Amino acid sequence: MSAKYYTQFILTDAHYRGGNEFSGVIELSQPMDSNTDARDIEAVLARNFDLRRNAVKLVSWSRLH
């Protein structure tokens, strides 16, 4: 069962210095639980922007119902 999350994040890659704060909805293949780390969301976002995971800093996230 997939789960959607509203996210706010910053891209730290040099290409995004002028406008690097973004927000949007992402969908994970399964809901996050107490064992899941926010780094999982950062990894999904990084893949979508074709960046390394450490080039994405998650500011906030919340699950959409």
Residue 34: what are its φ and ψ, rounded to 5°? -65, -20
pLDDT on residue 12: 84
Q: Where are the domains of the chain?
A: 3-63
pLDDT on residue 8: 94
CATH class of 3-63: alpha beta
Whole-prediction pTM: 0.76
Task: Give the pLDDT confidence of 5-48 residue by residue, as tens digits.
Answer: 899 999 887 777 667 889 999 888 878 776 667 888 888 889 88
Residue 61: which H helix or E strand, with range?
Answer: strand 56-63
Mean pLDDT of 47-52: 88
pLDDT on residue 36: 66
CA distance 4 to 18: 28
User: Residue 42's Cα: distance from chain center in Å?
Assistant: 4
Q: Tokens 């996230």 correspond to what residue?
A: 61
